[in-house]
Amino acid sequence: KDVAAGAVLIAALNALAVAYLIFFDRITDPSRSLIHQVRQTPAHIVAMALVLVVLCAIVAKAILHKGTPFHGGMPSGHAAVAFAGWTAITYVSASLEHDILISLLAFMMAFLVAQSRVESGIHSIVEVFFGGVLGILVPTILFQLWG
């Protein structure tokens, strides 16, 4: 097992070296900075929002000492990510023809995720509610700043 783990480590380091050589120009070119890319495409804002929502949920669970980072506790991470997805979809689809229908369908999916967490007994309604609030606030703030 140790030899196999060492081989995986060497392969991962080689992959990092190859990626560095391939993407060196993009990494060093200041016109392609992350902030510039975020301002140009909403996909980067969505990805950043989802990552921040997950991190905020894990930090909140650690601070409140309820549940584990990936199971139960306050706030519901599943509800937070589901409602963050709904919020992001609503912002991204605002200029489309059927924006209200798209937003409504995304909301229904987020609501079903939240409902499933309560029905399965993993979270209470309050935990799911605060997860939903977290999931709405983070993407809203990011889209208002850079959207």
DSSP code of residue 59: H
Torsion of CA 31, 32, 35, 41, to 10 degrees: 120
Under 8 Å between Cβ of 74 and 64 = yes
Write out pLDDT tens, residues 11-51. 888 888 888 777 766 666 555 555 555 455 677 778 888 88
Write out pLDDT tens, residues 79-114. 999 999 999 989 888 888 888 998 999 999 999 999
